Chains A and B, each alone.
Chain A
Amino acid sequence: MKVKTADVVVIGGGLHGCSTALHLALRGLKPILVEKDYAGRHASGVNAGGVRQLARHIAEIPLSIASMALWEQVEELVGDDCGFSSHGTVLVAESETELAGFRTRVDDLRLKGFTHEELIDRAELKRLVPAVSDHCPGGVVSRRDGAADPFRTTQAFRRRAVEKGAVVIEGVTVTDVRRDGTVWRVETTDGPIEAPKVVNAAGAWADRIAAKLGEPVPLEVIAPMLMVTSRVPAFIDPVVILRGRKLSFKQLANGTVVIGGGHLAQPHRDQNRTVLDWAKLAASARTVWELFPVMRATTIVRGWAGIEARMPDDIPVVGPSSTSEGIFHQFGFSAHGFQLGPATGAVIAELVATGRTNTPIDGLGIERFQRQAERQS
């Protein structure tokens, strides 16, 4: 069988893999991206579409801020506005105690030099989200945040990557990754590909690639559930999220409302299938029922879930392999990777091309799990 060659093999055609392929191509490298289904088939194409810097783990805030800058010029980057609009994200406090906790967090971020999160009182909350229930005393806003259309975004990154010289192979599964002299040999169901560098952006399947490289990770396969309603008159601009109870809530331009927040379906990653848990979706429905009384008679049209990876510490794995030179990991975004896609692709491409990056990604390395494993043994 004929062996294909490339500068880099990117495994996985989610937003992250497509973004990395695009940024590699922009740097003049020849990447081949291999995707077992089609680009955006799983979490990247069917997530809630939130583009959020708000309420992120401190270790991923620099990446998130870098990504926001790319989102704000996404049309120049990929030739499509990706349905991105910016009306902010509001984290709503449901009690004074909760609001006090948010204040501590915002103060702490300021001390570290991050100013994107801003505490708001009841009046500003009502101004931003008039429909919110009166029991909420305030919250936090990140005003530059927004939302985009996830499938369209992933497709736009894929399309631009191809225009810039990346090769995207869909419907082909990677079966093995191994060292062959000076290059990596990536075996696929459509024959081998050889390249000096490999990026593991395989999402919920990324642990299998990592395991082949001798660095097993405690990846959990998850499928966060979402519901969408029929169209209702426009009544809310920002994305609303909660902390105490699980909820994310946004109205799209077409009037439908997407309700999510992290309740999980049962994932079956080998069958590309999820089984929804209606008892948990009912909990989401009750939360909306209380927070937005205006929504009570709205009909739920569809529920779904996208398969993705969660790490035990809820932050992703981004950076070089700890065992294998030329391998880079980019997975485990733990249900909040969509916003990070544009910049993480740029950072991984930078690492691949130059061996270093100025964007701080300390704390996201894969070695954190080996240290953990050693401590436990």
Chain B
Amino acid sequence: MNAADLASSYDLVVIGGGPAGLAAAALAARAGVQTVLFDENPGVGGQIYRAIGASPVKDRAILGEDYWAGTALAEEARASGARIVTGATVWSLDPERVVGVSVAGAARLIEARRVIVATGAQERPFPIPGWTLPGVMTAGAAQTALKAQGLLPAGRTVLAGTGPLLWLLAAQILRGGGGIEALLDTTPRRNLVRAALHLPDFVLSPYFSKGLALLREVKARVPVYRVAHIEALGGDRLREVAFDGGRLPSDLLLLHQGVVPNVNLAMAAGAEHVWNDRQLCFQPVLDESFESSIPGIAIAGDGAGIAGGTAAAERGRLAAIAAVRALRPEARLPDPQAVRQRLQREEMGRAFLDWFNRPAESFRRPEGDTLVCRCEEVTAADVRRMADIGCEGPNQMKAFLRCGMGPCQGRLCGLTVTELIAEQRRSTPAEVGYYRLRPPVKPITLAELASLPISDAERKAVER
């Protein structure tokens, strides 16, 4: 597939091939809408179904049945007639629904009548002392290596953090024959107080029994310590993990404290976002069909606010139903009410999970020399000091410290910087706001950009 093979316009562009994108593309294409789906990875599946259909992990018990459920979604999308383009990096989306995409080193601008952004979630930044040492990575990255390459951690492995994905990864490593020295649970005990209100819903949700089984499975084979402080130690690479109450020699530390919407593309497009105080992240303002503040651009999946993979697919379907209605009113569609009911069922246990796994303040708002912005090497102390002398928001902070101005475009520091400024200035994250994000949301080379087809106006200017 080359960029040159793409049409200059599509009725529907779906960005991201995780559950939301796959379900949306399948539904729309089956309803007769000309649909293209872009995904930057070599295959579809997103993070949750990463490498589905191509994973070298053949023993289904290792990744678990929830992973293999992705097969049906991928098959459905492939059979639907939607054009699925993998290895396609979307680097820009504007309010007129012009999509900038690169495929195999060449860029194109594609016009879309409707866009569904399904760029999913990313792991919340987990800034602890030493988190930039070789040998420290995120649990999500380790899970990607397991799903896509069948790689298990080697050496002495420590997992640390909070949230369902951490426990799932622990179980998957154990089932695959890997070893884990310890799991450092950073969940504050007092979370249970707030979460307990939502316990009845949670008990009725599908998460409940799965969650308990996972905890039992891991705790039976791995020592679990409740901790409030973690430090990665070692000069050239990770040698030791220190925590309140102990030290462990370690070669690999896998960090995770939940996931948050990946907002970069939607924000750069200009979609309005608000602070979600329960999930401690920014999320787009959406209507019941997941349409954003920009006409014709919907945001489905975890990018709309964290709800998990199964909910993401239902959200994708709802966004697709709205898109099809606008593009091809005569098309036959599933009943959105039925989809909504399924979505509600999926979302049922979410409040409990959010409150129960709420990351501790000390792990969201670091102190001292702990790096906040890895690209530009800006420390927590730098950010706090600037906030103290009058820097009111992340955008001024960019100008003073260059934090958020590196190639990751603030993905690894944005929430930390917002929360630090809010704490330091006794304000709120909602008030402080987030980085103004700018395209390209993924770096592209000058040569790629130069490869965009020359416009008629420019050709005339040169020929004149």
Contact = CB atoms under 8 A, between A and B. Distances in A.
A283 B107 CA distance: 13
Interface string B446-458: 1101111011001
B447 A302 contact: no
A230 interface: yes
- The residue in A151, A152, A281, A301 that gathers the most chain B C-beta atoms within 10 A of its C-beta is A301
Nearest to B391: A155
A281 B402 CA distance: 23
Contacts of B450: 282, 285-286, 288-289, 296
A303 B438 contact: yes
Contact of B95 (A230, A275, A283): A275
Given A275-B95, A278-B452, A301 B447 contact: no
Contacts of B409: 301-302
A282 B407 CA distance: 19
Interface string A274-296: 01101111110110110000011
Interface in A49-82: none
Given A275-B94, A282-B449, A301 B406 contact: yes
B445 A299 contact: yes
B448 to A, nearest CB: 8
Contacts, number: 94
Contacts of A276: 92, 94, 438-439
A299 B375 CA distance: 15
Interface in A299-343: 299-304
A301 B446 contact: no
A369 B400 CA distance: 40
A300 B455 contact: no
A296 B100 contact: no
Nearest to B100: A278
A282 B107 contact: yes
Interface in B404-453: 405-407, 409, 438-440, 443-447, 449-452
B405 to A, nearest CB: 7
Given A301-B407, A302-B440, A279 B446 contact: no
Interface of A: 38, 40, 45, 151-152, 155, 229-230, 254, 273, 275-276, 278-283, 285-286, 288-289, 295-304
Interface of B: 92, 94-96, 98, 100, 107, 109, 270, 392, 396, 399-400, 402, 405-407, 409, 438-440, 443-447, 449-452, 454-455, 458
Given A282-B450, A296-B450, A299-B446, 12 more contacts: A38-B396, A230-B406, A230-B407, A276-B439, A279-B452, A282-B107, A288-B450, A295-B446, A297-B445, A300-B443, A301-B406, A303-B440
